[in-house]
Structure 1
Amino acid sequence: MKKIILSLISITFSLMLQSQGIIGAWEGSSTSKNGELLKTVVIFSNGYQVATTYDATTGKFINSNGGKWKLEGNMMTEEIEFHTDNPDLVGAQVSFKVRITNDEIEIIDRNSKLKRLDNGSPGKLQGAWLMSGRIRDGKTQLRDTSKPRKTMKILSGTRFQWIAYNTETKQFMGTGGGTYTTKNGKYTENIEFFSKDDSKTGRSLKFDYELIDGTWHHSGLSSKGSPIHEIWSIRE
């Protein structure tokens, strides 16, 4: 009996280490039919992930999908919450074999590889967050994050991406992402793609940020130049 228990503990610990090892940002590349170089960035946080492809030169958005994930042995299973190419997949589970090393993920069935960009550090805001409120004219307006309409932001150690979508209607409203830094109370986004407006590519937006009782307060000027004060809660 002791041997069985120890074996189960060993397997569980091994799976935990493997899952933790995938946390962070990963990058792959491919070529479009017209010869453009495409970049794919995948961000894994604790339990949630997003994969996005865009033109490596112009930043033109190509596609994005993501949702929940779990890893059991070499089998990755994703529960899709949004999918720009095939919305009918929203709510479905997709499984595929992977081979993971410290610096590479190989998706065996698809014969594709991703190289590690970071392991979740040094980002102070690493994780999956849901927009849970705003402050307007000094008044706090909270949002129910359990509803199907969500705005999620996933951050690794160096990469960020926000996604607006609805799991009930399977509608995808928009996304943007790139690299970010957190220094001296300032959170800076360097935009590499923006699904609604390619002209935003290359811009840097600087915000004040503060962690208050586990929530992330994010204030400054939006990409449209409008003042914002958003409240984000870590996604469980």
Structure 2
Amino acid sequence: MKTLVVLMISLLTLGAQAQSLIGAWERNYTSEDGEQLKSVVIISDGYQVLTTYNSETGAFIHSNGGTWSLDGDTMTETVEFHTDNSEMVGQEFNFKIILTDSELKVVGDGEGMKFSRIDNGNPGKLNGAWLMSERMRNGELQSRDTSRPRKTMKILSGTRFQWIAYNTETKQFMGTGGGTYTTIDGTYTENIEFFSRDNTRVGASLEFDYSLEDGDWHHKGFSSKGDPLYEIWSIRK
């Protein structure tokens, strides 16, 4: 009997460890206007973003995100940017979730919202939330204070990426873009599925050299406009 109890506790512990929010999640649905929409949530350690766009055209519709924590089945989010309502920036929201290995359900009115898991943080090597900390300008690397309100953040799961430019003090949202990515043999490739500033970028693939040096992500190549770039990103803490 004692052995059985120990085994059950071990199985429950393994089950709890296996069920993690970290990774990427998606919800595909049809709007009231008949649009085919996709909502993607990327969750890293302490930070998250949700974005909705037209899955057929890539037209950007909405994005919001910030910090998160989980206490039991209650998730708490503090908004850092919101494309529809800037007054929500700085506000805290609590809601219930139901989590399995393959599904995340946000409990609400009616059936709530159900998201299916895309990945669990693998296989890409850049899973996490990053802030741009240095950038090459006029041949010199210039440092950026990552603690300032004006932020350029990239958040990645194992297969999805998104960058967001925003200001937590003025509550201004400047732009975002994202899609899928790979990290193979020192090459980081972005496949753009949405871009808030310019829908013509949708469908483009961009390749960059990347390396991880002392915990920082060194990112070198050419921008979507064809301009050379060299950026250093630091993991957000």
TM-score > 0.5 by shorter chain: yes
Write out aligned runs for 1:1-236 (5 A): 17=17, 21-110=20-109, 111-236=112-237
Match of 1:6 in 2: none
Structure 1 residue 17, shift from structure 2 partner: 3.6
Matches of 2:41 and 2:65, distance apart in 1: 9
TM-score by length of 1: 0.91
Q: What percent identity do the matched residue pairs reach?
A: 64
Q: Could you tell me which amino acid in structure 2 is paired with residue 69 of structure 1?
A: W
SS for the counterpart of 1:106 is: strand
Gaps of 5+ in 2: 1-12
Matches of 1:227 and 1:94, distance apart in 2: 41
Moved over 3 A (4+): none
Gaps of 5+ in 1: 1-12
SS for the counterpart of 1:176 is: strand
Matches of 2:121 and 2:179, distance apart in 1: 15
SS for the counterpart of 1:199 is: helix
Question: Which is further off, 26-35 or 213-222?
Answer: 26-35
Structure 1 residue 137, shift from structure 2 partner: 4.4
Q: Could you tell me which amino acid in structure 2 is paired with residue 44 of structure 1?
A: I
Matches of 2:61 and 2:178, distance apart in 1: 13
Question: Which is further off, 133-142 or 51-60?
Answer: 133-142
SS for the counterpart of 2:90 is: coil
Matches of 2:51 and 2:67, distance apart in 1: 15
Match of 1:8 in 2: none
Matches of 1:136 and 1:75, distance apart in 2: 44
Matches of 1:213 and 1:75, distance apart in 2: 35
SS for the counterpart of 2:180 is: strand
SS for the counterpart of 1:88 is: helix
Q: Could you tell me which amino acid in structure 2 is paired with residue 232 of structure 1?
A: W
Question: Which is further off, 107-116 or 36-45?
Answer: 107-116
SS for the counterpart of 2:108 is: helix
Q: Could you tell me which amino acid in structure 1 is paired with residue 221 of structure 2?
A: G
Q: Could you tell me which amino acid in structure 2 is paired with residue 131 of structure 1?
A: M
Q: Could you tell me which amino acid in structure 2 is paired with residue 217 of structure 1?
A: H
Q: Could you tell me which amino acid in structure 1 is paired with residue 181 of structure 2?
A: Y
SS for the counterpart of 2:101 is: coil
What is the RMSD of the two structures over their aligned residues, measured on CA atoms?
1.7
Structure 1 residue 143, shift from structure 2 partner: 0.3
Q: Could you tell me which amino acid in structure 2 is paired with residue 113 of structure 1?
A: K
Question: Which is further off, 49-58 or 23-32?
Answer: 23-32
Query: Residues 108-127 of structure 1: CA distance to partner in whole angstroms, max 9, x if unpaired?
Result: 11511000000000110100
Query: Residues 192-234 of structure 1: CA distance to partner in whole angstroms, max 9, x if unpaired?
Result: 0000000000000000001111111101110111100011000
Matches of 2:41 and 2:133, distance apart in 1: 24
